[in-house]
Amino acid sequence: MSASTIRALIFTLAVSLATASFGDNLAPATRSAPMIERVELMPNLPEPLAIRNWSQVTRDYLELVLDFDREGKHLPLVRRSGDRDSMVTFPAYVGGPRDPEAVNLLGAVVSGTLVGRNMRDFHGQDWVSLSGNFFSEPEGIYINRYQRDAGAEFWYALFPNVLAWQIESLHPGDALRTERARRAAETWYNACVALGGKVEPPALPSFEHTGINLRTMQPIDKGWVEPEAAAGIAWIEYLAYRRFGDERYLTAADWCLKTLTERPVERSPLYEVLLPYGALTAARMNAELGRDYDVRRLVNDCFEPRGRPQARPGWGVLADRWQRGDVHGLVGSATDGGGYAFAMNTFQWAGALAPIARYDTRYAHDIGKWLLNLTNASRQFYANSHSPDEQSSYDWARTYDPESVIAYEGLRKWKRGAAPVVGAQGPSPGKVVSGSFRSTQFYRELEAATQVLEEDPAAARPLEHVWELDLPAVANRWLVVAAERIDCGHDGNEFRFSFSPSSQGPFTPAFSFIGAEKPQVTRLPKSLSGKLYVKVTSLPFCSKERRPDRLAVDAISVSYQMPNIGPFAQGDSVVSFVDLLEGATAPIVLYRPASAVTDLGLYGSSHVGILGGLVKTTNVPGMLWIDLLKTDYDHASAYPTYLCYNPYGETREVEFVGGSEPCDLYEATTDRILKTHVQGTITLSIPADTAWIIVVAPPRSELKRDFNRTLIDDVVVRYAN
């Protein structure tokens, strides 16, 4: 049979299907191979199963953190600032600096809107208009830090614009905000051109950089690359193309998706939070424009943690069970200390990837199963999921957040301990200029607290000072010191640290400080027990002809794993990450005073409305209705569309709550009308380990085929796979 004959037969079949209706007699489709390989490692039904009411969590969160009149330690979290109260302060962490960030504040505006809050007048403030303060006229984009510049990193420069576009989509009709959205698209198109994008001769932009200076349009290189920038730009440019019709924006979206999908398979572009938006854009452009981008590749790049040479080795979606329960579905590092998940990334992954099931129904099962695991495990970001010794900021959370609606920045597989200095001897010779051994017990205290030592040039030997620590009775321990040599004129000097189980020695050399190095780390022998003595020596010693140097000691401790405590809810504020050793499996930490700061991260918590808007529980535990339109911003005309996954080994009857008006229920994975002319609460029998996509269509619907699409009254309800 000739190729022309085959094409003619296909065309004839398509035309004949164009007016065909499909009824209940169509058998359910058999699920093919998994679309997301890592989801196969997750349980159908996570244990223990305990799903929070995420919509209520979101509403309670906003009531707490956006209340100008709250009283208590670190409260109110939001405060008015600027001329005529034109701006607010809003910290990234409870108790942290009040420098407002778009990632935090714009995320809260999106979250509130997704759960039905009026963010134009919430606690007396128009938060939607306030978000415009993050727009930088000189750079033509939304920036993360108020009244600064876009910064050196792609993701910090791009993500505020993703959030601003979401606000624009959720609150249309403001001419200034729409113009700013267009300007942002224009700026990022120009950035693509500056990075090498060309139409003639064809060339793709290169994102093998850390970022770009949007004023000079010169790339920025800081020693790492963030190639997922292409994903964020693709999402912005495609929405701009649909909104404004400028073909240049579509060209930029194509450039960016090609750079992502044409990378070597072993080099995932994943870095922080943008790649899922590229996967969604690829799926949408395939469905709406007939493109042929490798969506499966991009989605699996979002999920699969890989080693070097990735942009972010070890990052992806967790598929694991930690001590007391499943953490499957959370997003972060699979290798940092055995696993370290983050709230913001987890919530963002859910919002960006859920709509893919609508554009390609083959993803319905895996996305439904993953989101069940994610929705269940996300409760562990919150204080009420842990005992006091399983979290770093229990006292504040218990006192001021009794509903447990502010999430910790992250969740670690194991707690990392830091045993501080308990005593000291010396200095001899030399002197203590300020502080004491107690000044070394915490790292980067908000009020500067360091112990400063100074050499004695009149002495005949070098400065020596010894600190005493108690050694934890565990196998793996590291000595970590944060200090700085202050050069006052003693050329060639260095402060050498050593350790011993006896105050009299002998001492084993550890490391030196010759300037303002990062904290230094050395592994301690397993044979040591009881006490540890840490000595610093200034060598060569300071003679009378030289001015004495000083050593500022911020923190000294023994960092160790606490193998019986985990998961541990924390962040990088109280528990400060300083290094990763042994193939990124041993995080070295120092502690900051919990009385001054907390690990409760507003910048992550502010995105919880994604789950609040996406997910509703049903009459069957573990079966969720997921709103596939909720986070599909600026989508084409569509009927209400919901995904439900049955994790059980048998058919389950789940209730679907319809409206008061009659409707038809169309099921997209099998391309059929399930129910006609129904209203109110309807019971649906979903087969075992199966996901359905239910579209609420007008009554007496007639399905029509238009080549690769199924339509009801000219509205697409299914795209061909």
- The answer to whether the 3-30+637-719 and 416-564 domains have the same CATH topology is no
- In the block, residue with structure tokens 């598929």: 319
Phi first, then psi, for residue 60 (nearest 5°) are: -70, -35
- Reported confidence tier of residue 85, pLDDT bands at 50, 70, 90: confident
Q: Identify any residues that bridge with 626 across adjacent strands, giving them in sequence order.
A: 615, 643
Q: Is the bond into 172 cis (omega within 30 degrees of 0)?
A: no
C-alpha 137/C-alpha 131 separation (Å) is 14
Q: Residue 332: left if φ>0, alpha if ψ -120 to 50, beta else—which one? A: left
Burial of 152 (0-12, 13-18, 19+ CB in 10 A): middle
Q: Evaluate whether 443 touches 576 at the Cβ level (below 8 Å).
A: yes
How many CB atoms lie under 10 A from the CB of residue 237? 28
C-alpha 680/C-alpha 491 separation (Å) is 83
DSSP state of 101: B
Instruction: Compute the average pLDDT of residues 607-622.
Output: 98
DSSP state of 150: -
- The lowest-confidence range among 17-31, 501-515, 569-583 is 17-31
pLDDT at 251: 98
Helix H or strand E encompassing 252: helix 247-261
C-alpha 639/C-alpha 643 separation (Å) is 13
Task: For 128-169, write each residue's pLDDT tens digit.
Answer: 999 999 999 999 999 999 888 888 999 999 999 999 999 999
* Of the candidates 501, 639, 487, the residue with the CA atom closest to the CA atom of residue 552: 487
C-alpha 181/C-alpha 168 separation (Å) is 8
Distance of CA 28 to the CA centre of its chain: 36
C-alpha 430/C-alpha 488 separation (Å) is 14
C-alpha 635/C-alpha 35 separation (Å) is 23
pLDDT at 32: 67
Q: CA 609 → CA 116, 246, 347, 517, 633, distances in Å?
A: 10, 32, 8, 41, 15
User: What is the three-state SS of 165-228?
Assistant: HHHHHHCCCCHHHHHHHHHHHHHHHHHHHHCCCECCCCECCCCCCCEEECCCCEEECCCCCCCC
Domain extent listing, the chain: 3-30+637-719, 416-564
Instruction: Compute the average pLDDT of residues 56-81.
Output: 97
Q: CA 698 → CA 10, 17, 430, distances in Å?
A: 30, 21, 86
- Reported confidence tier of residue 445, pLDDT bands at 50, 70, 90: confident
* Of the candidates 409, 413, 424, 445, the residue with the CA atom closest to the CA atom of residue 571: 409
Task: For 520-568, write each residue's pLDDT tens digit.
Answer: 999 999 999 999 999 999 999 888 878 899 999 999 999 998 888 999 9
C-alpha 439/C-alpha 441 separation (Å) is 6
C-alpha 673/C-alpha 347 separation (Å) is 32
- Reported confidence tier of residue 6, pLDDT bands at 50, 70, 90: very low
Instruction: Compute the average pLDDT of residues 110-126.
Output: 97
* Of the candidates 100, 59, 204, the residue with the CA atom closest to the CA atom of residue 609: 59
C-alpha 86/C-alpha 131 separation (Å) is 11
Q: Under CATH, to which class is 3-30+637-719 assigned?
A: mainly beta
* Of the candidates 478, 483, 481, 497, the residue with the CA atom closest to the CA atom of residue 588: 478
What SS3 state is found at 41? helix
The domain defined by 416-564 carries CATH number 2.60.120.260: yes
The mean predicted confidence, pLDDT, of the chain is 92
Task: Tell me: pLDDT of 28 over 90.
Answer: no
pLDDT at 526: 93
Q: Evaluate whether 380 touches 569 at the Cβ level (below 8 Å).
A: yes
Q: Residue 622: left if φ>0, alpha if ψ -120 to 50, beta else—which one? A: left
Q: CA 395 → CA 6, 61, 402, 523, distances in Å?
A: 72, 18, 11, 32
User: What is the three-state SS of 459-523?
Assistant: CCCCCEEEEEEECCCCCCEEEEEEEEEECCCCCCCEEEEEEECCCCCCCEEEEEECCCCCCEEEE
Two structure tokens written together for 336:
């940092």
Task: For 239-266, write each residue's pLDDT tens digit.
Answer: 999 999 999 999 999 999 999 999 998 8
* Of the candidates 142, 150, 312, 151, the residue with the CA atom closest to the CA atom of residue 227: 312
* Of the candidates 557, 181, 159, 616, the residue with the CA atom closest to the CA atom of residue 344: 159
Portion of the chain with pLDDT greater than 90, in percent: 83
C-alpha 426/C-alpha 453 separation (Å) is 10
Q: Evaluate whether 26 touches 671 at the Cβ level (below 8 Å).
A: yes
Distance, first Cα to last Cα, the chain? 26
Task: For 667-683, write each residue's pLDDT tens digit.
Answer: 999 999 999 999 999 99
Q: Evaluate whether 370 touches 329 at the Cβ level (below 8 Å).
A: yes
* Of the candidates 169, 170, 139, 171, the residue with the CA atom closest to the CA atom of residue 157: 139
Task: Tell me: pLDDT of 4 over 70.
Answer: no
- Reported confidence tier of residue 8, pLDDT bands at 50, 70, 90: very low
Task: Tell me: pLDDT of 446 over 90.
Answer: no
Task: Tell me: pLDDT of 329 over 90.
Answer: yes
